[in-house]
Amino acid sequence: MSKLTLKDLYFKFRDPKAMKALASLIEKEALKLKEPLRVMEICGGHTHTIMKYGLKQILPKNITFIHGPGCPVCVMPKERIDHAIILAKQKDVILATLGDMIRVPGSNGSLAKARAEGADVRALHSAFDVLKIAQENPNKKVVFFAIGFETTTPMTAALMERAFKEGIRNIYYHINHVLVPPPMRAIMDSGEAKINAFIGPSHVSVIIGAKSYEFLTKDYNTPVVVAGFEPVDVMESILMLIRQKNEGRCEVEIQYKRATTWEGNLVAQEMIKKYMEVRDTFRWRGLGDIPKSALKLKEEYSEFDAEKIWKDILPNDPIDDHKLCICGEILKGLKTPLDCKVFGKACTPQNPLGSCMVSDEGACNAYYRYAR
């Protein structure tokens, strides 16, 4: 028997017949629900799948998708963007970051604007590109503006490991890695978004393990299914959540078994712990200060910590979003992009007023592409 190709696998998880069969099962099972299923998908990748494949239209009316804060670019507050812009403008500094961050608006422009004005800003395809930049520019200070959830955090740790082994000492780190479980707790504690189920993020869960969401079942009586990114994955996960509700169960289940385990990637977890630790608090765009929700460099690596080296010029006071932007309310699951007065008009991917329109994982970006 020949091996399945990547194309075969994609077709398997996007098969119209499979989607139709799942839709039929979901419709039948959804009739038994005692209350509507209001499910938050944490990851922006799931939001794009839901919108791209029209899952909102395929599924019964008593199933509602609520978009969560699962886009690391979207949740970054303006003052952190300002940090990147200020650092990029320093003498002999090269600011390197992943592509989406380049266009996110700070309080006075973006990294793209700073680059147009002469700052040396590099868009990365991989964190390891920083090594080459540092080696080619030994007299420059290369600041890596690191972003992302638990998915990309191991890459930053691995970058540090390799830089130290190779004796590269001109890389500095501005750590903006955030954690998924704390904002889930913050959203449930607020009680504003009426959520009674979660679709757990897939790639994050590969690192931290499905066990990380047990608190939702124990403390909030809210079931979780960790789902893959394909439309069949999402639909199967919805069916699993409905069956939990109808059977009176409340559990963390794994739909994405081809990659996710209960414990997660223990090697990656240890690599992160080697170089980073949890911050006391971190300010999230739209969600405010959330305790223990982000990482920072350990004190023993402070000589490479950009936040400490340039602390005298980096602001920490909160900066409000554009007054017409409702990105914060979207990230909290209270509104959708279609509720925004400037969506698709003054705010577009080419001219974003808020972060949710910038990133490929942003809810506004997904609606702009697929739901206008």
Q: Following DSSP, what letter does each residue of 24-36 receive, concatenated? A: HHHHHHHTT-SS-
Do 211 and 239 reside in the same domain of the chain? yes
Do 136 and 177 reside in the same domain of the chain? yes
Domain end call among 291, 307, 325: 325
Query: Is residue 25 in some structural domain?
Result: no
Percent of the chain with pLDDT over 90: 85
Do 123 and 192 reside in the same domain of the chain? yes
Domain end call among 292, 308, 325: 325
Q: Which residue has the tokens 């791209």?
A: 52
Do 53 and 193 reside in the same domain of the chain? yes
CA distance 75 to 142: 24
**Under a CB-based contact definition with an 8 Å cutoff, are residues 243 and 294 in contact?**
no
Query: Is residue 155 in some structural domain?
Result: yes
Query: Is residue 29 in some structural domain?
Result: no
Q: What is the pLDDT of residues 174-223, one digit of tens each?
A: 999 999 999 999 999 999 999 999 999 999 999 999 999 999 999 999 99
Query: Is residue 192 in some structural domain?
Result: yes
Query: Is residue 96 in some structural domain?
Result: yes
Do 344 and 227 reside in the same domain of the chain? no
CATH code of the domain containing 222: 3.40.50.11740
Do 234 and 356 reside in the same domain of the chain? no
Query: Is residue 36 in some structural domain?
Result: no
DSSP code per residue over 240-302: HHHHHHHTT---EEES-TTT--SS--HHHHHHHHHHEEE-SEEEETTTEEEET-BEEE-GGGG
Do 312 and 345 reside in the same domain of the chain? no
Do 170 and 259 reside in the same domain of the chain? yes
The H or E element that residue 175 is part of is strand 171-177
31-60: average pLDDT: 95
Which residues partner with 254 through β-bridges? Answer: 226
Tell me how long the chain is. Answer: 372
Q: What's the token pair of residue 218?
A: 């124990």
Do 66 and 193 reside in the same domain of the chain? yes
Residues 6+ apart with CB under 8 A from 116: none
> For residue 360, what pLDDT is reported?
82
CA distance 116 to 186: 38
Do 270 and 128 reside in the same domain of the chain? yes
CA distance 265 to 260: 9
* Helix, coil or strand: residue 103: helix
Do 232 and 309 reside in the same domain of the chain? yes
CA distance 14 to 58: 14
Q: Which residue has the tokens 């608090």?
A: 281
80-101: average pLDDT: 94
DSSP state of 102: G
Residue 231 pLDDT > 90: yes
Q: What is the pLDDT of residues 284-332, one digit of tens each?
A: 988 899 999 999 999 999 999 999 999 999 998 988 888 899 999 999 9
Taking the model in full, what pTM does it have?
0.93
CA distance 370 to 349: 13
- pLDDT grade for 60, boundaries at 50, 70 and 90: very high
- Scanning 166-247, the segments in alpha helix (DSSP H) are 181-190, 202-208, 214-220, 231-246
Query: Is residue 342 in some structural domain?
Result: yes
Residue 156 pLDDT > 60: yes
CA distance 35 to 127: 45
Query: Is residue 19 in some structural domain?
Result: no
Could you list the residue range(s) of the whole structural domain that residue 97 is in? 43-325
132-137: average pLDDT: 98
Please report, for residues 37, 46, 52, 242, 364, the alpha-carbon distance to residue 25 in angstroms, rounded to integers and kept in the order given.
Answer: 15, 21, 21, 10, 30
Q: How many domains does the chain have?
A: 2
Do 339 and 219 reside in the same domain of the chain? no
Q: What is the pLDDT of residues 11-20, one digit of tens each?
A: 688 888 999 9
CA distance 372 to 236: 26
